[in-house]
Structure 1
Amino acid sequence: MLRNSRDSFGLVSILFHWVIGLIFLGQIALGYLMVRVSDFTLQFSLYQWHKSFGFLVLGLSALRLLWKLANPRPRDPEHMNSLERVAAHAAHVILYLSLFIVPLTGWAVASSSPLQIPTFMFNLVVIPQLPITISDAAEAFWAASHAWLAYLSAVVAAGHILAALHHHFWKRDTILMRMLSPSAAKTGRNVN
């Protein structure tokens, strides 16, 4: 099943979710590591990889958003209470926004830097700079914004993961299963 059903996500939505989610979490770890490396050559390479994966997240997120608009999300299970529904929808909105805002602020960091180091996306293509102010102050602003938004996103993602595990292991419902396989989740509760 490629498309979403009323009760489960289709294969395309599932692949977008896991691929983007894993890259995004890997980006947070890579971003943390790259600013702590003292070897300049290694640091430059890590920065280029970080920027490359950031543009990949941005591109995949745009495709995912188009898919989401053409293929609506399955309905919430009936047993979810209103607080769970509000929390889930708020987390999804924050995470979706993060998939665009965090890479864009990263692009702004590179574009505002007085060093003007080109971004070589996967060593295949040079990404143009954004037309923004170039200064140490601008770079510092965008770098702080990028870091804080990335860490905030990581906290929300952790809450999202914990909520999915809570639903699976404690509530024993199909919330997690419907994001693992299109056929794994059936309507109603798990039987185990």
Structure 2
Amino acid sequence: MMGTVFSGAGLTRYTRVAIALHWTIAVLLVTNLGIGLLMDDLPDGIVPIHKSIGMLVLLLSLVRLGWRIGHRPPPLPASVKPWEKGLAHAVHWIFYAFMIFIPLSGWIFTSASPKRHALTFFGLFGLPYFPVPQEKAISHVWHGRHETVAYLMLALLVLHVAAALKHRFLDRDRTLDRMLPGAGPR
């Protein structure tokens, strides 16, 4: 199977690239969701960082999606119920959609804002604005979409973590080991 690593004990794992992308994006997402939730209480200088992290999430998510398309994930343990497998697959594809939509919607509402500020990638180089009219109404609509889907992403993350912990502590299966760096033999 492409994209999997087998141990001597038969444990199937994600590739190192998939694991690195998963955890890097996870840290960036949690950081940016935290910044977004606390935005009103943080200094103005955090907004460009929030936008840069969002663009990095967009880029890495596209890379991850490409990797996922080219590398089949390891199978879930046989003990995982069919409805759980279906839900897990649906949640993963929704994650991909949200990881791409949230940064794009932020880029769109920023680009539509009548009060544009320089859009840069961590101050290293400028980024183009999304080709939309500069209108407050458009910016407002896309800002609302950005926030709504970010809250949905937060709920999805809680579900994802709860499911991983359920598999680890209640089911006591190896589902979580497939994505943990260094878990189990390689």
Q: Which residue of 1 aligns with 2:19?
A: 14
Q: Which stretch of structure 1 is more off in the superposition, 111-120 or 158-167?
A: 111-120
- Residue type matched to 2:159 in 1? G
More divergent stretch after superposition (74-83 vs 97-106):
74-83
**Deviation of the 1:35 alpha carbon:** 2.8
Q: Normalising by the residue count of structure 2, what TM-score does the alignment of the two structures yield?
A: 0.91
Q: Which residue of 1 aligns with 2:54?
A: 54
Q: Which residue in the other structure is 2:79 paired with?
A: 79
Gaps of 5+ in 2: 7-11
* Residue 101, structure 1, aligned to residue 94, structure 2: no
RMSD, aligned CA: 1.8
Which residue pairs with 1:29 in the alignment?
34
Shift of 1:185: 6.9
Aligned partners of 2:14, 2:140: CA distance in 1, in Å?
Answer: 40
Instruction: Return the alpha-carbon distance in structure 1 between the equivalents of residues 183 and 152 of structure 2.
Output: 33
Q: Deviation string for 1:162-181 (max 9, x for gaps)? A: 00000001100001111113
1:189 match: none
Cα distance between partner residues in 1 of 2:31 and 2:89: 24
Instruction: Please give the secondary structure, in 2, of the residue aligned with 1:64.
Output: helix
**Identical-residue share of aligned pairs (%):** 32
Residue pair 2:74, 2:178 contacting (<8 A) in 1 also: no
Aligned pairs, number = 180
Partner-residue secondary structure (3-state), 2:41: coil
